[in-house]
Amino acid sequence: MSVSLPDPGRMEGRTVVVTGGSSGIGRAAAVELAALGATVAVVGRSEQRTREVAEQIGGRAYLADFSRLADVRALAGRLLADLPEIHVLANNAGGIGPRAETVDGFDETFQRNHLAGFLLTHLLLPRLTETAASAPPMSVRVVQTSSAANIGARIRMDDLDTRRGPWMQGFRAYGRSKLANILFTRGLARRLSGTAVSTYAFHPGVVATRFGGFAPWTMLVKAVALSPEQGAAPLVRLASAPEVPAPSGNYFSRLTAPGPTSPQAGDAGLERALWSASEVRAGLR
């Protein structure tokens, strides 16, 4: 049985961290969440755009390049120093780009879309659980921006960096990273069972943003795409709704769950293997 997300709720007294908040869906979500009363920490790569958004909404700007895991660790340190409570972590940063390797030695698309958010979540999780102790039940959440591109993806544990096979303008690596977002969400929900922190992933729809600007095919897609404000609607509702009418770990396609996923999204063995490999890559063990 499918369920739909309720309308947004008021967010006075709540703090939200939005990565990828300097443009596109992240920017639209940051503006809307601030309008609902939230205190928003805007995380972005561009100093000018990130500060502009933060100034517009009365939030605080945080600069980090997710293609550098050292930046993610430094970001977590600043957030923990500045924010005594974190009610929602929106792992929204990411995109698709040409084949490239990060300074950490990993595929840039996979690192920016999955590994950086995986690391940031682990580093902020103690603060999230502390916040949940005095917040309404299940109102503290980790929200992950995924994509319908997960449906045709297949993760190979021996090729997480997509070094083998055709590059397909980055779409294979992108689809794998979006499937990894769902597996991470489900693994996190399992590990958070019995706590007051919940987690969800969502597909925003096909949205007209700066995403994938290097690839010619994106120009055709953007001609019929949703606005950033429409694409941000699932994120805003998952962050602000007093209750989410689906168990933790669910994946929403726009406003409805369960959304369609790759057959691998239900593979518990793959989820555990990816979790372990991500811990090693992120330097968590």
Question: Which amino acid appears at position 101 of this protein?
Answer: E
Q: Which residues contact 186 (CB under 8 A, 6 or more apart)?
A: 249, 265, 271
* Whether 57 contacts 30, CB under 8 Å: yes
The dihedral built from the CA positions of residue 165, 171, 172 and 177, taken in this order, carries a sign that is: positive
User: Catalytic annotation on 174?
Assistant: yes
Residue 218: how many CB atoms within 10 A of its CB?
19
Question: Which amino acid appears at position 149 of this protein?
Answer: A
Q: How many Å apart are CA 125 and CA 8, to the nearest integer?
A: 24
Q: Given the residues 62, 174, 200, 251, select the one marked as catalytic.
A: 174
Q: How many Å apart are CA 73 and CA 263, to the nearest integer?
A: 33
Which residues are the active-site residues? 174
